A and B are shown apart, each in its own frame.
Chain A
Amino acid sequence: MSKTVLLVEDEPLLIDLYEERFKEEDFELKTAETGEDALKVAEQGGVDLILLDILLPGINGFEVLRRLKSNIETRDIPVIVLTNLGSEQSDKDKQLALSLGAIDYLVKSYHTPDEMVEIIQKRLESNS
């Protein structure tokens, strides 16, 4: 059964890029452009991994993360924060994300889509 990855991203430039690259892979990609949408999609079930941006219209990524983790339906879905905020070294944003239950904190501009695929695949494998 193919896995589903939910990309929470409001920047069309990047949605296009990731869709372009991810369509070659064997997982299904869903996108949500706001935090509220993301929560709805996650609640419907069937999401295996969430890539979550922080700066979003409406509620921000930290709040989305908090709500995901406090909902019994969604709290077990692994969340990777994928943002252009902060840094992957010691950073208060990263610490906040990890303390809220994210499994990783990645800065978008540091990684090519290929590297992202690798990270996603590794994560999906370790979950199954």
Chain B
Amino acid sequence: MSDTRETNVLPPWEKLLQRLHLNEGSLSVSESQMLFLRAITDLREDTKGALAKTVITVPRLMPLQASFLVKSTAEAITLLETNLGRKKAVGLLNSAFLHRLTTTKTYTEKRLPAEERKRQDKYEYAICFPVGDRATGFQFIFLAKEELAHNDEVFLKLVRNILTLRHQQSLLREEINREAESLTLLTHHLSEGMAVLNQDMKVTLWNRPMQRLSGYSPREAVGQPYQAVFKRTDAEDWLGQLMNVYLETPLRNVFNTQFEIVTREGTRRWVDVSGSFMRRPTDNTISQTIIIVRDVSHLKMLEQRKNEFISIATHELRTPITAIKGYLSLLHKDQENLTDKQRTYLGRANDANHRLARLAEDLLRTVQVEEDRLRINLRPVELGPILEKITRDLQEKAKAKQLTLEYVAAPFDTWVTADEEKIEQVFANLIDNAIKYTSQGYVRVFTDRFEENGQSFIIVHVQDTGIGINPKNYEAIFEKFRRTHDTAEIRESGAGLGLFIVKSFVEKQGGKISVNSRIGNGTTFSVRLQATESPKPLHDNAFHKENQPKQKGARHE
């Protein structure tokens, strides 16, 4: 919450002058008067806004040169007494500020030496403000009578204005502090963990539920780097890394992720973390991060059990599928000895087994996708070269079916925020599917760009002239397990991912997928992704690209 405070500090000297419709040149004040004004304006460095600053005005003239730092209220009193005389000093000490700091001190009448009294006549103004976080000292600045020679009016007006502003400001700050306190109190009663981090990724707010989750109390956590009190088991500075990615995409601020943490006591638990980066309006840099944390260990355990079960069951399924496939293929080799009817039955049994095999593979991949979910690595990616490569790789397959496969190169930048590997799989799959379901005509890949609510998007269309999809099935084709298979659609299952997985990948990368089709009139799949700036000069990227594929291929195969 340091930010809110900062914004309420009295504006710096230049801004203040603007507010008072003045500029420095037009001020006919002496140098020491100027120093005095600046001093009472620019106090924030000393006080960090921890305590309201108070200014005492003394109804007599004083010299600026007299500037003192005192360490206790007693010293302050002595100082005031010596400089102003006891009467005025007591008057001052009764003012709001010093009053609450001088509850124990009593004053005894004391005659001041003659030369001290003489000095008293010289002073007109003094300011006093606490120094340090918890007012460990008080700074006094006195202004001499001579300083107010001929331009009293302007000077006094300025002093009054500044003092008024300061007073208003201190009231405001007190109110803000009170509100902040009650807000913090509120956060303790949330059911979810909540933490706020400053720009250095240090904790500024840590509610009680966070203590249950992490083992660290608010008192222990505040002021610590977040990694010290919220330890992810598989990555050190995950938030810092995430922040670097988001800094490249200035329009995105919200994130959601799940991972395992280890608590102070050494227990491991899965957490769901939603968060948001707050940016400075001036330069878009991140000033604060808010995270909301939920314990999902129980859900995670159930999910893992479910995945394990599906995984084992599917591997078991593959054995009878292998045997059926094998024997059917032996029968098929022998088909001259079969009747037409038997051959038809054989074909149908084969189709059914294909379907069973595909279902098993879909199931396995679904589990894999769920396990892969955390491994999405978002960064700026250039779509053009990726689409070009995929269409090149699939050219042969298209030719075998006498289809035209073309990529219409975009006349604009195609940088988007995505996971390079996964986005390649998405388009490879869509294009491969398009070829699969098209028996004549073409498959065309082209791009579009558009703006919405100040955000830029790139859309990639994969258009085919294939059998098409019934609009009432638009939703169903993206479902986890497609219930309805049009027999006409059944083809080789191949190694492609299901559309559910394509959709899931696209959405995990912050994108959207849609489909437009008419039965017998072709299908167009459109993938919308968030555009981003090219991160480096273009020639640099060309170099980068050339060096990349090898390593990536190795990971893939």
Which residues from chain A sit less than 8 Å from chain B, CB to CB?
11, 13-14, 17-18, 20-21, 55, 84-85, 87-90, 107-109, 112-114
CB-CB under 8 A from B364, the residues of chain A are 87
Asked if B333 CB lies within 8 Å of chain A CBs, one says yes
The answer to whether A114 touches B329 (Cβ under 8 A) is yes
Given A21-B330, A109-B318, A89 contacting B325 (CB threshold 8 A): no
* C-alpha gap A89/B357 in the complex (Å): 16
Shortest Cβ distance from B554 into chain A, in angstroms? 10
Given A87-B364, A90-B557, A113 contacting B319 (CB threshold 8 A): no
Segment 310-363 of B: residues with Cβ below 8 Å from A: 315, 318-323, 325-327, 329-330, 333, 357, 360
Given contacts A20-B330, A109-B318, 11 further A-B contacts (CB under 8 A): A13-B319, A14-B323, A14-B326, A17-B322, A18-B326, A21-B326, A89-B556, A90-B556, A107-B318, A109-B321, A109-B325
Q: Which residue of A lies closest to B332 (CB)?
A: A112
CB-CB under 8 A from A18, the residues of chain B are 326
Asked if B150 CB lies within 8 Å of chain A CBs, one says no
* C-alpha gap A20/B14 in the complex (Å): 94
Given A90-B556, A109-B357, A11 contacting B319 (CB threshold 8 A): yes
* C-alpha gap A13/B316 in the complex (Å): 13
* C-alpha gap A21/B331 in the complex (Å): 11
CB-CB under 8 A from B333, the residues of chain A are 114
Of B315, B321, B360, B555, most buried by chain A (CB within 10 Å of CB) is: B315
* C-alpha gap A68/B233 in the complex (Å): 36
Shortest Cβ distance from A125 into chain B, in angstroms? 22
Asked if B495 CB lies within 8 Å of chain A CBs, one says yes
Shortest Cβ distance from B423 into chain A, in angstroms? 16
CB-CB under 8 A from B325, the residues of chain A are 109, 112
Q: Of B329, B555, B557, which is within 8 A of A112 by CB?
A: B329
The answer to whether B315 touches A113 (Cβ under 8 A) is no
The answer to whether A109 touches B360 (Cβ under 8 A) is yes
The answer to whether A113 touches B330 (Cβ under 8 A) is yes
CB-CB under 8 A from A107, the residues of chain B are 318
CB-CB under 8 A from B357, the residues of chain A are 109
CB-CB under 8 A from B322, the residues of chain A are 14, 17, 84, 108-109
* C-alpha gap A113/B326 in the complex (Å): 6
CB-CB under 8 A from B330, the residues of chain A are 20-21, 113
The answer to whether B329 touches A14 (Cβ under 8 A) is no
* C-alpha gap A88/B333 in the complex (Å): 26
The answer to whether A112 touches B326 (Cβ under 8 A) is yes
CB-CB under 8 A from A17, the residues of chain B are 322-323, 326-327
Shortest Cβ distance from B47 into chain A, in angstroms? 58
Q: Can you offer 23 A-B residue contacts whose CB atoms are under 8 A?
A: A13-B320, A14-B322, A17-B323, A17-B326, A20-B330, A21-B326, A55-B315, A84-B319, A84-B322, A90-B555, A90-B556, A90-B557, A109-B318, A109-B322, A109-B325, A109-B357, A109-B360, A112-B325, A112-B326, A113-B326, A113-B330, A114-B329, A114-B333
CB-CB under 8 A from A13, the residues of chain B are 319-320, 323
Shortest Cβ distance from B362 into chain A, in angstroms? 12
Shortest Cβ distance from A112 into chain B, in angstroms? 4
Q: Which residue of A lies closest to B365 (CB)?
A: A87
Q: Which residue of B lies closest to A88 (CB)?
A: B495
The answer to whether A113 touches B329 (Cβ under 8 A) is yes
* C-alpha gap A108/B164 in the complex (Å): 85
Shortest Cβ distance from A44 into chain B, in angstroms? 29
Q: Of A14, A88, A89, which is within 8 A of B319 by CB?
A: A14
CB-CB under 8 A from B555, the residues of chain A are 90
The answer to whether A84 touches B318 (Cβ under 8 A) is yes
Given A87-B364, A89-B495, A108 contacting B319 (CB threshold 8 A): yes
* C-alpha gap A18/B323 in the complex (Å): 9
* C-alpha gap A114/B329 in the complex (Å): 8
Q: Which residue of A lies closest to B357 (CB)?
A: A109
Q: Which residue of B lies closest to A54 (CB)?
A: B315
Q: Which residue of B lies closest to A113 (CB)?
A: B326
CB-CB under 8 A from A113, the residues of chain B are 326, 329-330
* C-alpha gap A89/B497 in the complex (Å): 11
Given A113-B326, A113-B330, A114-B333, A85 contacting B319 (CB threshold 8 A): no
Q: Which residue of A lies closest to B554 (CB)?
A: A90
Shortest Cβ distance from B557 into chain A, in angstroms? 7
Shortest Cβ distance from B360 into chain A, in angstroms? 7
Q: Which residue of A lies closest to B557 (CB)?
A: A90
Shortest Cβ distance from A99 into chain B, in angstroms? 12
* C-alpha gap A87/B494 in the complex (Å): 12
* C-alpha gap A89/B321 in the complex (Å): 19
CB-CB under 8 A from B318, the residues of chain A are 84, 107-109
Q: Which residue of A lies closest to B495 (CB)?
A: A89
Shortest Cβ distance from A57 into chain B, in angstroms? 14
* C-alpha gap A90/B330 in the complex (Å): 30
* C-alpha gap A89/B364 in the complex (Å): 13
Q: Which residue of B lies closest to A16 (CB)?
A: B323
* C-alpha gap A11/B322 in the complex (Å): 11
CB-CB under 8 A from B319, the residues of chain A are 11, 13-14, 84, 108-109
Q: Which residue of B lies closest to A18 (CB)?
A: B326
Q: Which residue of B lies closest to A13 (CB)?
A: B323
CB-CB under 8 A from B556, the residues of chain A are 89-90
